Structure 1
Amino acid sequence: MYRSIRRSLGLTLGLGIILLPAMGCTDRPDTLRIGATMSESGAYATQGTAARNGYLLCQEHLNEAGGILNRPVEFTILDDRSDPELAPELYEKLISKHEVDAVMGPYGSTLTEAVAPVTEAHEMIHISPLAATTSIWEQGREYLFMVLPPAELFLAGVMHLAAERDLNRIAVVKEDQLFPRAAGAGAQQTAEDLGLEVVFHTAYESGTEDFSSILRQIRDGDVEVLAMAASNLDDFIRMTEQLRDSSIDLKMFGSSGAVEEYIETLGEDGEYTYGLSAWEPTLDRPGIETFVADYQERFDRAPSFHAAGAYGSCRLFAKAAKEAGSIESGALRTALLDMRTTTLFGPFEVDSRGYQIANQGILIQWQDGEKAVVWPEEQATAEPRFPTPPWDERGSD
């Protein structure tokens, strides 16, 4: 079912086809052309399509306000097919053939890591909307900037709620990919810092469909809390379905992602599970109401945090250009390093590496088919409901 949903959302472009959207598009010779790839097909299509839409809505809003430095903005977006070998080839093409004046980042840590050597070699500012793995920013790169909370924080809220409820026995499960490995390591460290017992911590290969061996470990270890990190939404759905059918007495299941497609696919079986969201429309952030309304109108669905991340990153680029008075890389880099601001996506401040130090993220729980922010307490819109799993006799609040 999920795959059919994803196919309907993935407006796939053929390799090398340039996207010239109707929204705010212009042929003026002074147009500022921004290049990017997005995963409009392949494993990351759900997230990538939403992020592409965020870029396009930002383009429209910028042009309605006069563009960037009085130049109309036009995005050129190519489908990288969720392929870390294809993405850098496309960025090289965009940059070296002078098709664009600036670039924005692709979806996710895996593709960002693949693309970063290209943007660094060309000394192009690369604001990454949706990459969170710390190691990407530990390689001496000068032009790469992080917007998301660090990956190591993505499951921190699950650990804090577990500790508050005296749930001590933790399992950490992660896909063997760059971002999930970092998120899993952060979950274990947070659990240990809180005095929780990590019963086991394991990685699984990408594409795994049968989690029965992990379920046996959960059952045999009397695990109370499962924290799962993955880069593919299908994995969370499969794990939820298999947990539901397993009769395991689990008290909390938290994942590193929270998108509408999860609950659309699972319905009641997704109730009371948790997910990291870097952004929600209920937060008190500047411009959220307009963004949400316009996104819903343009794309006929509510925006996910992936859409908001791309939109917010685009606005950061525009703000940096305004403050620098230029799109020259050195001037943009100085402006971004000095910037302390809050966009609709959240607070932005980086250290000398371009590494995010202000955005900490939030944890949601699916309650009555809707996302409720339950952590941290100062941003919560609802109390967490326990026991959580629908497969555990659908416990009451």
Structure 2
Amino acid sequence: MPDEDAARSDESSDDIGRLRMGACLSLSGEYARFGRQARLGLDVWREWHGAVEVIVEDDRSDPLVMEAALRRLAGRCDVLLGPYSTRLMRRAGRVAAALDRLVWNHGGSGDDVQAAHPGHVVSVPTPASRYAEPFVRHITAVAGVRLLVIVQGKGSFGRQVAEGAEGVARSLGVPTVRLGPGDDLSGEGSWNLFCAGSFEEDVEVVRRSRAAPNPPEATCAVAAGVREFGQAVEHPAGIYGVGQWFPGRGGEAEIGIGEAGFVGAYRARSGQIPDYLAAQAAAAAAIAVHCAELAGGTERSQLWSAACSLETTTLFGPFSIDARSGVQVGHVGTLVRWDADGPAAVQPRA
């Protein structure tokens, strides 16, 4: 752990004393591959900070289980972190509003989730509608205008990402076609592919598109923003991915553990480089505790006021919210491109 990170941890410990932080995470079920990374990210942050007790409950990737767990945590914790996934976070926002608590959203990027409960949800990730922008702008600048085929997943997350992709494409004069994950991908002429669904949906769409008689010139998938994509798709080199964060792109951290310290500690624990799922959970924890320090307490209105006034950076990148809604406006997603050694960050061309 770098010396400057250790020094910051000591200062934070003196400021706030012992807080209890509760988090619902999917340690089993459909989202377990993501929830486990988030938990490890929180473990790294907790060890660095040293003055916060973190209590994690397994929501089993189930909205009903998550609601019960969040209600339990609300009764015993000062600060609440939401679950991974837009679907689970949608219910978590309703629970926070019903209990008059504030939940820190690190795992639900859906636009509707981020804006649904002003005063009760503070979001850290980039909204879903802005996911596609780095890829669409980059590939248009590099290769010119080509048909963009957008494959939308079954849920609202996929719809919101697809709508955002259409919007930025329209602004650049790029024609689009929107399809479902099982639709025919055969066609004529040059085209690019962007797909936004569940991890499994994206993997299947990429596989089918590569086997098509006329495959896309360039492919980007939300699923390709995490390293597990390389285990699910053979020879992923050349495929773009979009995600919330990638090592080397976080910049200077004004609050919380720095990127180098976080990546090193995570790798020492797991033998792997963290994906954005771990980084965004650690960033949410750092911001939540910092806001408690600023506010001098953990009442909902105090935390909300502190969050609305905050413009800062963490290992995850910039943080700033719309003070009317709680939607994240400061953070920008990251574009990566796979090569033989794995995913590497791309500086998008506009």
Map of 1:138-149 to 2, 5 A cutoff?
A: 138-149=115-126
Displacement of 1:300 after TM fit?
2.2
Partner of 2:338: 366
Deviation per residue, 1:173-230 (Å, 9 max, x gap): 11121211110110111111110111x21234xxxxxx4xx2x3x3235461111111
- Residue equivalent to 1:386: none
Q: Which residue of 1 aligns with 2:219?
A: 253
CA distance in 1 between partners of 2:311 and 2:18 (Å): 28
**Residue 14 of structure 2: aligned partner:** none
Which structure is higher in RCO with an 8 Å CA cutoff and minimum separation 6? 2
The alignment covers a number of residue pairs equal to 326
Cα drift, residue 161 of structure 1: 2.3
SS in 2 for 1:280: coil
Local SS of the residue matching 1:220: coil
Partner of 1:314 in structure 2? 285
The letter of the residue matching 2:76 is E
Return the alpha-carbon distance in structure 2 between the equivalents of residues 161 and 151 of structure 1: 18
2:260 paired with 1:289: yes
Which of 276, 300, 306 lines up with 2:271 in the alignment?
Answer: 300
- Matching of residue 191 in structure 1 with residue 163 in structure 2: no
Partner of 1:46: 33
Residues 152-167 of structure 1 aligned to structure 2 (within 5 Å): 152-164=129-141, 165-167=143-145
* Distance (whole Å) between structure 1 residues aligned to residue 234 and residue 148 of structure 2: 26
Contact persistence 2:195–2:205 (CA under 8 A): no
Task: Please give the alpha-carbon distance, in whole angstroms, between the structure 1 residues aligned to 2:322 and 2:302.
Answer: 17
Quote how far apart the aligned CAs of 1:267 are: 4.1
Give the partner amino acid of 1:349.
S
SS at match of 2:63: coil
Q: Distance in 1 between matches of 2:199 and 2:220?
A: 13
Structure 1 residue aligned with 2:73: 94
Matched residue, 1:127: 104
- What is the CA distance between 1:360 and its match in structure 2? 1.6
Distance (whole Å) between structure 1 residues aligned to residue 216 and residue 59 of structure 2: 38
- What letter is aligned with 2:130? L
- Kept in 1, the 8 Å contact 2:337–2:344? The answer is yes
Instruction: Structure 1 unaligned segments of length 5 or more: list them.
Output: 1-29, 68-72, 205-210, 379-397
The 1:351/1:193 distance shift into structure 2, 3 A limit, reads: same
Which 4+ stretches in 1 moved above 4 angstroms? none
Mark the runs of 5 or more structure 2 residues left unpaired by the alignment. 1-16
The alignment partner of 2:91 has SS state of helix
Question: How large is the Cα RMSD of the aligned pairs?
Answer: 1.8
Written as runs of structure 1 = structure 2, the 5 A alignment for 1:30-45 is: 31-45=18-32
Distance 2:186 2:284 in 1: 42
1:155–1:255 CA contact under 8 A, matched in 2: no
Deviation at 1:144, TM superposition (A): 0.4
TM-score (norm 2): 0.88
Cα distance in 2 for residues equivalent to 1:130 and 1:139: 15
- By how many angstroms is 1:312 displaced? 0.7
Residue 235 of structure 1 aligns to which amino acid in structure 2? E
**Residue 377 of structure 1, CA deviation:** 4.3
Q: TM-score, normalised by structure 1?
A: 0.78
